[in-house]
Chain A
């Protein structure tokens, strides 16, 4: 749910360390968390009433254009007529919702979540109770998904299908993989309930359409090929890709739009080439994508893609609106495949740079990065900044992408192309505001942001009239006046007072400046990404912005993305969802655990994109580059033990360690080596690569017996086993575990639904969900939990030395 409208009221009291509410106050540390049984008593009817009103207002806003007149038709939940409801949902969802809202105020205070769930078994007789729950403000998207999944009642499913319309888009988006997986793999009633909402959203957003199409493809891929072809998922995917879900009225809207309101300078004469680029240029890319016989999944994917490309060619006059984006993605993937054929990192890097520079010729275009959280057009890929990431046989790579933010992707026209070197006018050496020679000015001028205001004027020199025979001299300005007499007058000592400087100062400034820039990594041809990732993000943004012809535009943004070709990111997506859920649970329960879920775009069953964690490098890289222990590295980067910077970095380290230890335990994340753990500039650790979770673990390595990775180096950074920070770490783990188990359903649900129809290794075996649930230890007292945490920590510590610790096994399997 996460909605500001409803949430604050019931939750505030629980999360405060109040002595008042009845519950088990097991020790002072634990009092922060209370079990959620008694919480409904604190609902204030007035607050609830207000919240309902707000929801109502919002619904009105959402469907502002539609006149709502049909009041009075009572909602029939018992009516299982799904077909009918589908049509109704599409045509007139607001009316229905409005009904619900009207009743909400009256019913909200009388039901509890648990009560409703119990009564559900009594079926139709108790429907009203269920209805009351559904209509209550407690009914959030998580519950909706849960009922959609668990309910066998077509009526309930249809109702929830309708109800989806009144959740916030962002909230539903989070569960999109679950919704679509249910759509693909569950029975028809569920599918029918979901479809109207999906179709509705596809009509609204091109990005949503793309995500749906990609996910539908990816989650259908585990089906047998014969069933897949005719499956509901495949059909919906085709429907989306065929572009029939394009909003009908959009066409009429388009011509009236004023061209390029967002670009300050868009010399109209340059647009002639770009205008056709969206479709034509990108279509030519499609031939690049060759089939790889070794991978049937890809082949299958390609078949579909190529067939859809043909249709683009046929209906050239009205290009499919998803086509440019899909071609963009496809060419990024094709680059990855080609890189994989090259033997050395150096060759890969060079090839990557030159491939991207060619890709640049086709930008800007009507393409976007789906991992971004705002509407934008991609205008340029600063190709020289791209790096190949460390991988044995595949060639994942990281690119930076310059985009121009816009209000609405569909309606804003594609920005005009600005030639690469256009930057010269605004940023050229001659124009840098540094003509003086004093050191003060020197120091100051560097950070000065050049003034871009006169950009248009600066380029009015395009007029032929001003281009006289000596063209380059057009650019000369005041700086040159100085240079006229510079060389000769350098040493003329007269007229001016001589300025003296101390050699020591120069030397000192040099060492200071190098010390101030956080230790840059050395370039290593075998590890090209280390340097690029180490550079502070803000610094990188500034640098790339300065070097970009689009950099002066106010809506310029820099994004980055890792392109993975040949990797299945569906597990990563699942891990992302779980992490995100845990994060919001911990936030809600005010446990200061820190984790960093990073966005995942599943493109197919063997390709995708990842949003990189900025300002972070792997611990492996840290140790290799710095040749220091982790603690010494902390001291070097943040200062000595007592400094504020070190202490806050240490706190961050502890909070993130605790968070990820829980994640690793709950999700059984394996393959935890230092290359898969990042360290960011603030001291947080971030686990990446969730290739081995739940029921899967790497072969040949035996299994990692410890619950999570906790090395002596980590403990050293925390200040040793006896330090306060280490106790804090354990306490955080306990609080985090208690909070997580309070909301276990929300976590388990995500995993459980995705298991449907899945062949992913993480779902291997039959006990994945049961084991997951068991790891939440619902039946333990908090004292027992505390003991558990102690033992897990101890186990992880001891596994460093003995590697033969099996007490934890006993604990997990025995005590329950």
Chain B
């Protein structure tokens, strides 16, 4: 028994700290889990147990007891038999011969409880049981019992919860997390009906509901982070709020860290990745969450809610009607997600944040590949101010939030990518994230080129960020080469420039922006020269990087042509006019005057990219991610099931 308590923790508190108040049923349960068979001492033990509360079969308390018992039982059996195969556990719990029928009955009961107009607490408990069932193993795909959940789908019940505002407010979070986990059961091995079903949902109310739940959880995170940041900044306030804050946030001693919520991010990913209709939800306007919620709701970070209480943050917004509050700025899921990403991607040192950051970039990749998403990202009429979080750095001041221009959303995405590029040049080089980041930019450029969108963006910031990244790669060549193939990244960066150079006419906003591109390349020619000598050196000796490096040398052909063409002209201009240092305007003048004598090589496939594919390349990451999410959900679930006393109170007073 002690072991069970420790691991499962389900009955921990009531047995340990409240000894005098122990209910009889708990006592008897304790006896069951004692090493001795309780029926040995008292032969009528079982009769006594089952006769204890003679309630009608449909009585809610009975149902509650049953659900809780099942939670404990399932978890207990798993804890005890960690090494046992899933089949043995099924056999242990139900017996093979009855398992199918048992699970069918269970799932049907859960389904009808979830769909019925019943107690919200009961519904919540049903979801807890399901979450418990789904997360008993670390690796969800080894949880064989889920086969029955596959066969007896509760997908429709989940959808129903999401489509009705009241039930969504109460249980939306659990429903979304449950769905995200179920989708990941044996994702790559078999046909998972939840994947198929999720991918074809087209009911707008349901999808919007899902979007709202996700937006809410993400903005709750954003809000908490912002609070912490402010608290961190103003010492005056911190003393007071720290006290309050530490009551609810577990690791309050950390500087500014709010535990990331990968489960909800996974749900967002699955929705974006699997369901093509969900993309429209990203742009669905809703009022800014943080402003609507009352500040007095210090919800737990991981919003597994105590039963019978309100969900993590109050969802004041119904998806149908907007409040008439003039101060509320409209926002959408995409903006909330971008803000969230900007926070999460700041610091990628710990594993959770690395996972989160990576998942954010994967989601952005999916978005950047989607035509509809691109259409609204680039929509000139949909302008927003997006307050991205920027890491405080020595050499720059925090941009004043108020002065942010109102721009198409794609500008915020590009800002986020630029921000990432300039803030992660460090020894522990997040190569994978950088590659994804550059890919996102590339995909957006491909769309702009294809659809001739001339975005008024400060491209210069992107160019200089990319050049700085190249400089970093070169100056840390030896350290980085030990761990990474830096040439893939270098090639991608150079090809982004090639994209601007050869296709700039199709998407640059003004002729002068094309001039500026040349100016930037010429100004930073030293970096490109160095890069060229490095890749030339490595491609000529027969080392490990020969091939990769030689690709970069070929890709550099146009940049080198530009440098070699204009530099002498600029020098002679300086000589003729007796100027030692040319101004930007003077350089631009030389550039404009000498375009016609410059020949460039048209490179193939600059505007082509490999589409994102989860199965082939990301399977390992997602397995690992789901494992960590499962553990997390299980842990938090255990903590909160305690307050079921509240629930019992609720029902005993009603009946």
A386 and chain B: residue at smallest CB distance: B381
A469 and chain B: residue at smallest CB distance: B195
Q: Is the CB of A341 within 8 A of B326?
A: yes
Which residues does chain A contribute within 8 Å of B275, judged by CB atoms? 471
Cβ of B155 to closest chain A Cβ, rounded Å: 13
Q: Is the CB of B495 within 8 A of A490?
A: yes
Cβ of B261 to closest chain A Cβ, rounded Å: 24
Cβ of A488 to closest chain B Cβ, rounded Å: 8
Q: Is the CB of B611 within 8 A of A491?
A: no
**B117 part of interface (Cβ distance < 8 Å):** no
Which residues does chain A contribute within 8 Å of B239, judged by CB atoms? none
Residues 475-505 of chain A, each 1 if its beta carbon lies under 8 Å from chain B, else 0? 0100110111111111111001011111110
Given contacts A484-B610, A501-B599, A502-B599, contact A491 B555 (CB under 8 A): yes
A532-B382 Cα distance, complex, nearest whole Å: 12
**A36 part of interface (Cβ distance < 8 Å):** no
- For window 54-77 of A, CB contacts with B under 8 Å fall at none
Which residues does chain A contribute within 8 Å of B597, judged by CB atoms? 504
Given contacts A421-B276, A464-B200, A490-B603, contact A429 B551 (CB under 8 A): no
Q: Is the CB of B324 within 8 A of A341?
A: yes
Q: Is the CB of A513 within 8 A of B600?
A: no
Cβ of A207 to closest chain B Cβ, rounded Å: 29
Q: Is the CB of B614 within 8 A of A483?
A: no
Q: Is the CB of A357 within 8 A of B605?
A: no
Q: Is the CB of A423 within 8 A of B372?
A: yes
Q: Which of B52-60, B186-194, B571-579 contacts A (4 or more CB under 8 A)?
A: B186-194
Q: Is the CB of A510 within 8 A of B504?
A: yes
Q: Is the CB of B602 within 8 A of A350?
A: no
Given contacts A503-B598, A510-B514, contact A424 B371 (CB under 8 A): yes
**B380 part of interface (Cβ distance < 8 Å):** yes
- For window 555-597 of A, CB contacts with B under 8 Å fall at none
Given contacts A429-B450, A483-B610, contact A384 B555 (CB under 8 A): no
User: CB < 8 Å: which of B192, B285, B326, B450 contacts A354?
Assistant: B285
Q: Is the CB of B273 within 8 A of A531?
A: no
A475-B176 Cα distance, complex, nearest whole Å: 26
Which residues does chain B contribute within 8 Å of A434, judged by CB atoms? 450
Which residues does chain B contribute within 8 Å of A501, judged by CB atoms? 502, 599-602
Q: Is the CB of B330 within 8 A of A351?
A: yes
Which residues does chain A contribute within 8 Å of B607, judged by CB atoms? 437
A547-B381 Cα distance, complex, nearest whole Å: 13
A503-B202 Cα distance, complex, nearest whole Å: 48
A342-B610 Cα distance, complex, nearest whole Å: 46
A498-B606 Cα distance, complex, nearest whole Å: 14
Which residues does chain A contribute within 8 Å of B382, judged by CB atoms? 353, 384
Q: Is the CB of B554 within 8 A of A491?
A: yes
A357-B451 Cα distance, complex, nearest whole Å: 24
Cβ of B124 to closest chain A Cβ, rounded Å: 29
**A358 part of interface (Cβ distance < 8 Å):** yes
- For window 565-607 of B, CB contacts with A under 8 Å fall at 592, 595-607
Q: Is the CB of B608 within 8 A of A429?
A: no
Q: Is the CB of B505 within 8 A of A506?
A: yes
A426 and chain B: residue at smallest CB distance: B371
A483 and chain B: residue at smallest CB distance: B608
- For window 343-376 of A, CB contacts with B under 8 Å fall at 343, 346-347, 349-351, 353-355, 357-358, 361
**A200 part of interface (Cβ distance < 8 Å):** no
Cβ of A448 to closest chain B Cβ, rounded Å: 12
**A467 part of interface (Cβ distance < 8 Å):** yes
Q: Is the CB of A500 within 8 A of B611?
A: no
**B231 part of interface (Cβ distance < 8 Å):** no
- For window 397-424 of A, CB contacts with B under 8 Å fall at 419-421, 423-424
User: CB < 8 Å: which of A429, A438, A506 contacts B374?
Assistant: A429
A273 and chain B: residue at smallest CB distance: B203
B439 and chain A: residue at smallest CB distance: A487
A464-B374 Cα distance, complex, nearest whole Å: 26
Q: Is the CB of B322 within 8 A of A419?
A: no
**A702 part of interface (Cβ distance < 8 Å):** no
Given contacts A467-B200, A502-B600, contact A421 B195 (CB under 8 A): no
Q: Is the CB of B502 within 8 A of A506?
A: yes
Q: Is the CB of B614 within 8 A of A470?
A: yes
- For window 303-330 of B, CB contacts with A under 8 Å fall at 320-322, 324, 326, 329-330
- For window 434-478 of A, CB contacts with B under 8 Å fall at 434, 437-438, 442, 446, 462, 464, 467-473, 476
**A24 part of interface (Cβ distance < 8 Å):** no
Cβ of B349 to closest chain A Cβ, rounded Å: 30
Q: Is the CB of A358 within 8 A of B511?
A: no
A420-B454 Cα distance, complex, nearest whole Å: 24
Given contacts A355-B322, A437-B605, A490-B495, contact A503 B595 (CB under 8 A): yes
A503-B324 Cα distance, complex, nearest whole Å: 54
Q: Is the CB of A507 within 8 A of B602?
A: no
Q: Is the CB of A462 within 8 A of B200?
A: yes
**B508 part of interface (Cβ distance < 8 Å):** yes
Which residues does chain A contribute within 8 Å of B614, judged by CB atoms? 470
User: CB < 8 Å: which of B199, B371, B452, B552 contacts A471?
Assistant: B199
| B contacts with A, residue count (CB < 8 A) | 89
Q: Is the CB of B505 within 8 A of A507?
A: yes
User: CB < 8 Å: which of B188, B321, B452 contacts A469?
Assistant: B188
Q: Is the CB of A496 within 8 A of B372?
A: no
Q: Is the CB of A437 within 8 A of B596?
A: no
Q: Is the CB of A446 within 8 A of B452?
A: yes
**B506 part of interface (Cβ distance < 8 Å):** yes
**B447 part of interface (Cβ distance < 8 Å):** yes
A496-B603 Cα distance, complex, nearest whole Å: 11
Q: Is the CB of B381 within 8 A of A429?
A: no
**B227 part of interface (Cβ distance < 8 Å):** no
User: CB < 8 Å: which of B370, B592, B602 contacts A424?
Assistant: B370
Given contacts A429-B374, A506-B505, contact A500 B322 (CB under 8 A): no
**A523 part of interface (Cβ distance < 8 Å):** yes
Which residues does chain A contribute within 8 Å of B320, judged by CB atoms? 358, 361
Which residues does chain A contribute within 8 Å of B551, judged by CB atoms? 488, 490-492
Given contacts A338-B324, A346-B406, A354-B285, contact A486 B608 (CB under 8 A): yes
Which residues does chain A contribute within 8 Å of B280, judged by CB atoms? 419-421
Cβ of B638 to closest chain A Cβ, rounded Å: 32
**B621 part of interface (Cβ distance < 8 Å):** no
**B376 part of interface (Cβ distance < 8 Å):** yes
Residues 358-389 of chain B, each 1 if its beta carbon lies under 8 Å from chain A, else 0? 00000000100111101110011111100000
Which residues does chain B contribute within 8 Å of A314, judged by CB atoms? none
**A12 part of interface (Cβ distance < 8 Å):** no
User: CB < 8 Å: which of B200, B279, B555 contacts A421?
Assistant: B279
**B446 part of interface (Cβ distance < 8 Å):** yes
User: CB < 8 Å: which of A430, A438, A446, A469 contacts B191?
Assistant: A469
A427 and chain B: residue at smallest CB distance: B371
**B615 part of interface (Cβ distance < 8 Å):** yes
A358-B286 Cα distance, complex, nearest whole Å: 10
**B533 part of interface (Cβ distance < 8 Å):** no
**A387 part of interface (Cβ distance < 8 Å):** yes
**A518 part of interface (Cβ distance < 8 Å):** no
Q: Which residues of A contact B (CB under 8 A)?
A: 270, 273, 288, 338, 341-343, 346-347, 349-351, 353-355, 357-358, 361, 384-387, 419-421, 423-424, 427-430, 432, 434, 437-438, 442, 446, 462, 464, 467-473, 476, 479-480, 482-493, 496, 498-504, 506-507, 509-511, 513-514, 523, 525, 531-532, 547
27 contacts between A and B (CB under 8 A): A353-B285, A354-B330, A358-B321, A384-B376, A384-B382, A419-B204, A424-B371, A429-B447, A430-B611, A432-B450, A437-B602, A437-B605, A467-B196, A476-B611, A483-B605, A487-B492, A489-B604, A490-B551, A490-B604, A491-B551, A492-B551, A500-B602, A504-B596, A507-B595, A510-B505, A513-B505, A525-B406
Closest CB pairs A-B (n = 4): A354-B285, A491-B554, A486-B608, A486-B605
Known: A420-B280, A487-B492, A491-B554. 17 other contacts (CB 8 A): A341-B326, A355-B322, A421-B279, A432-B450, A437-B606, A469-B192, A473-B613, A483-B608, A486-B608, A486-B609, A500-B599, A501-B602, A504-B597, A506-B505, A510-B505, A525-B406, A531-B380
